[in-house]
Amino acid sequence: MDIIDTRKCNLWNLDRLADYLAVGPDILRGYYDEILEDGQFLAGINARLTKVREEYGFTKAIFARDKIDSADWFAFERILIYVLVRHLKPEAVLETGVYYGGNTSFLLAGLHRNGKGRLVSIDLPDSAIRAGVSAGTALRHPLVGDSELYQSTLKPGFIIPDYLKQHWDFVEGNSLEVIPTRRETFDLYLHDSDHSMDFLTAELDAAWPRLGAGATVVVDDIDWSNAFFSFCVTHQLSPVLFTDNGKDNLRVRSGVVKVDHPRNRERAFTGAKAAS
């Protein structure tokens, strides 16, 4: 998909999000324009791309590009999470799956613009992922081949511009083990780690007690298993789904659900949270 069609898709998606959140579409489009016009953000990303490519010889995926001239070259999910952070003004954000830090950078850019909030990101190092593959465990993102494997000299989040890290807490480990140890109440939760049915189901179950009553959940690659849909059915939550360019073609890839959305069944929501 070319950049013009990508922008059309992004705008269409943002209008659907505005409808879901019951806000004027111009509000969300304004946040979209904001990240598109953020020269400091793009300069920071490009500086990291160049550094990693030249110093570490890493040229997989987006690192093969000499320069990123628009945030539209990233998948819609990056626009989505930036807009959500700007609109919802979360105090605490939970992210699972960091890899090179694409999602993380957009989350942090939103917090930076808000001037408040903390992002807790959880991921395994490259060595643990490689060890799992050697032991017979499939890659977390099998459709992208080995591009998610980097090297031990690079740590998760290696694309993140330094000026954004003041809002960031990175925790190295397995999200299923780390999430239950956190004591924050999270306002926004983004899953982009292992998308398998068993793992995502377990991670959503672990995160649920840590979510605030008005929290928003974003899950990437929802078409890789039925875990997100099962979660919504179990808790009787009404989600909104978004198409995205990337991986191979235009597909429904991202799911968003607000746990206090008016379309949800109030009794089921109250009961589920009370039991947490």
Summarised one tens digit per residue, pLDDT across range 1-48 is: 678 888 999 999 999 999 999 999 999 999 999 999 999 999 999 999
Question: What is the rounded average pLDDT for all residues in the chain?
Answer: 88
Summarised one tens digit per residue, pLDDT across range 171-223 is: 999 999 999 999 999 999 999 999 999 999 999 999 999 999 999 999 999 99
Could you give the CA distance from residue 7 to residue 224 in angstroms, rounded to a whole number? 25
Residue 38's Cβ-count burial label (10 Å; 0-12, 13-18, 19+) is: middle
Q: Structure tokens of 79?
A: 């626009």
| HEC profile of 40-69 | HHHHHHHHHHHHHHHHHCCCCHHHHCCCCC
Could you give the CA distance from residue 131 to residue 181 in angstroms, rounded to a whole number? 24
* Cα–Cα distance list, 257 to 224, 236, 264, 274 (Å): 18, 11, 10, 19
Q: Structure tokens of 131?
A: 């060890």
Handedness of CA 223, 11, 7, 103 (dihedral sign): negative
Summarised one tens digit per residue, pLDDT across range 41-100 is: 999 999 999 998 888 887 877 788 888 999 998 989 999 999 999 999 999 999 999 988
The verdict on domain 74-275 having CATH code 3.40.50.150 is yes
Collapsed DSSP state (helix, strand, coil) of residue 32: helix
In the chain, domain spans: 74-275
- Whole-prediction pTM: 0.89
Collapsed DSSP state (helix, strand, coil) of residue 79: helix
Percent of the chain as helix, strand, coil, to the nearest 5: 55, 15, 30
